[in-house]
């Protein structure tokens, strides 16, 4: 026996949960959740992209360059992996 859930799903998607956040506050919340996702990605990059290049010697700007690269990559990827959206929706519903 197969259960048809299409009616329940369509009614659930059509139901709007009233939001107590204004559009301005939603934009600020989205900005902060994107920043949090960027921070998480930066931490992951800092840990996973540590490499000791045996071919070239260490130079003074190596750590600075690597940190700037990790910052740029984490900012570019933030908001696209889903952590930010998950956190945003949770905080929006529970505000």
Query: CA nearest 81: which of 46, 34, 42, 47?
Result: 34
Phi (first) and psi of residue 50, to 5 degrees = -70, 120
User: How would residue 16 be classed by pLDDT, with cut points 50, 70 and 90?
Assistant: very low
Inform me whether the pLDDT recorded for 5 exceeds 90: no
Find out whether 68 and 49 touch, Cβ atoms under 8 Å. Answer: no
Structure tokens at 9: 């799903």
Measure the CA–CA gap between 72 and 38, rounded to whole angstroms: 9
What are 38-87's pLDDT values in tens digits? 999 999 988 888 766 665 567 777 788 888 888 999 999 888 888 999 99
pTM over 0.85: no
Measure the CA–CA gap between 45 and 13, rounded to whole angstroms: 37
Find out whether 18 and 25 touch, Cβ atoms under 8 Å. Answer: no
């Amino acid at each position: 026996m197969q259960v048809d859930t299409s009616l329940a799903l369509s009614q659930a998607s059509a139901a709007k949960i009233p939001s107590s956040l204004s559009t301005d506050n939603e934009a600020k919340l989205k900005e902060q959740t994107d920043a949090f996702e960027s921070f998480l990605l930066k931490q992951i990059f800092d840990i996973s992209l540590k490499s000791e290049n045996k071919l070239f010697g260490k130079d003074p700007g190596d750590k600075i360059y690597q940190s700037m690269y990790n910052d740029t990559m984490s900012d570019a990827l933030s908001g696209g992996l889903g952590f930010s959206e998950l956190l945003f929706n949770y905080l929006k519903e529970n505000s």
